Amino acid sequence: MTELELKFCVPDAALASLREALRAHGAKRVRLRAHYFDTACGTLARHRIALRLRLEGRRWVQTLKAAGDGAVHRLEHEVRVPGSSHERPALNPARHDGTAAGEQLAGALREAADPRLIEQHATDIQRLHCDLHDADGTQVEAALDVGLALAEGRTTPIVELELEHKGGPLAGLFTLAQACVQHGGLWQSTLTKAERGLRLRDGADAPRAAMARPPRLAPGADGATLMRALLQSALEQVLDNASELQPGADVVEVVHQLRVGLRRLRVLLRELAPLLQAPDAGWAPVLSAAFARLGEQRDHVAVVAAVRPLLQAAGAPRLEWRPPASAADPVQVAREPALQTTLLALQALAHADDAAFAALPPKATRALVAARLRKLHRQVLRAADTFEQLPPDGQHRVRKQLKRLRYLADFSGALWPARPRQGCRRAMQRAQDALGLHHDVMLAAAGFRAEAGRVREAGFAAGWLHAHQAVTAQAAGRELRRLAEVKVFWR
């Protein structure tokens, strides 16, 4: 069995109206007391597996969840377990034998040095739930969960809405989710109750940046299969990092990885637009605006970190400039309804049937991707011999083209399984690093230059960095010329 479920954090201001709306649809209340299990060294958590025994009212249910295709799709198997509500029955992993989720569980336990499963944490939830139906036949279970995660004598509150697809067209699930976001300012989260409990147990409440995971992609993918896999990969990184943003926490790396995910998503929608039946749905401006606003504060921190060693070595009396006072709060940016509804629309596309995509067979799909890669590659290499002479906006354009090339190559490499890719990837990474440092030096020079009129010490850094741009431009040009000599895998 598979589960497609959307989870949303509920702000205090929306809680009462959400309860009222669910009760208007006949919602019922039930208490859920769950116990989560793992090995002593956290084997299941590392494999993104959750195993629990839960008392649902007066009945016990054992549930196994494992990773599926994308951020909101999971494998699930549950079994009713006989027993008294006053005494927890014994956990038995064999109850899931013969299922797809059970195979993942068995594989994870085979890797564990000690496969014994022990209780790690628990939850105590009051659930208000009902079934919803739309005119097209979509069936969704809506559940408002309010309660606590408990571990090691500590607790943390849980207030979230779950929307689980039960039947009918999938599009209705995402339409309902968009209405919830617009109604009460809810925001999507991929952080599960199991993950919340583990962090509580470990006393680890710091946000965790999520790196991009390779798309689940077979070499013979047609256009629809390719696009769904790549959308799910990009959205997973975006949603996982957006879920980690917390007010007042150190989120610099989380914001960086969120922006990487947004850039990957934008590259995908731009470069492979011919694979979509309706490529222009107003997504690009929303994603672009969020990307830019998230970069206002993060760029200052990253640029300062990049140029500080250079300025220290040069004996500069001032090592950073004042950050922009108007920088956007990344938490607010990620939770804005416009971005949340756009991400939901793209998730609907990632789970759409073939009619939403161009009917392109595997050979033609690979030819299309190769053509896009060749075009980007030519654009980047065209600047290799003249990079140092290009104006700043031209150099920045080359940097963006290189990023698009690299992300599209990373996305689609599995289409050429027999061809070595590591040499090409390393060369692109080296070139991107060199162009990135050059861009940081230019940004820092501009930042110090803006302060030089009122802070005398800033003048030295502005002048030194301006002169140093020639050095970083030469290094960037050199890496671009090296990239030109590397054999690419898409030819």
The pLDDT tens digits of the residues spanning 341-391 come to: 999 999 999 999 999 999 999 999 999 999 999 999 999 999 999 999 999
| The pLDDT of residue 366 | 94
164 pLDDT band, cuts 50/70/90, is: very high
Express as a percent the part of the chain with pLDDT over 70: 99
- The average pLDDT across 318-335 equals 86
Are 34 and 54 contacting, i.e. CB atoms less than 8 angstroms apart? Answer: yes
Residue 50 has pLDDT above 90, yes or no: yes
Residue 419 has pLDDT above 90, yes or no: no
| The pLDDT of residue 71 | 67
| The pLDDT of residue 299 | 77
Please indicate whether residue 298 or residue 443 has the higher confidence score (pLDDT): 443
Q: Which of 409, 434, 404 is nearest to 421 (CA)?
A: 409
Residue 1 has pLDDT above 70, yes or no: no
179-202 pLDDT, tens digit per residue, is 999 888 899 999 999 999 999 999
Query: Which has the minimum average pLDDT: 106-115, 152-161, 272-281?
Result: 272-281
Report residue 99: phi and psi, to 5°.
-115, 160
The pLDDT mean for the chain works out to 93
**10 Å Cβ neighbour count for 203?**
10
What is the C-alpha to C-alpha distance for residues 368 and 364, in angstroms, rounded to an integer? 6
What is the C-alpha to C-alpha distance for residues 32 and 166, in angstroms, rounded to an integer? 20
Length of the chain counted residue by residue: 491
When the candidates are 1.10.238.10, 3.40.430.10, 2.40.320.10, 3.30.110.40, the CATH number that belongs to 2-205 is 2.40.320.10
- Report the interhelical angle of 283-313 vs 456-484 (nearest 10°): 110
Residue 2 has pLDDT above 70, yes or no: no
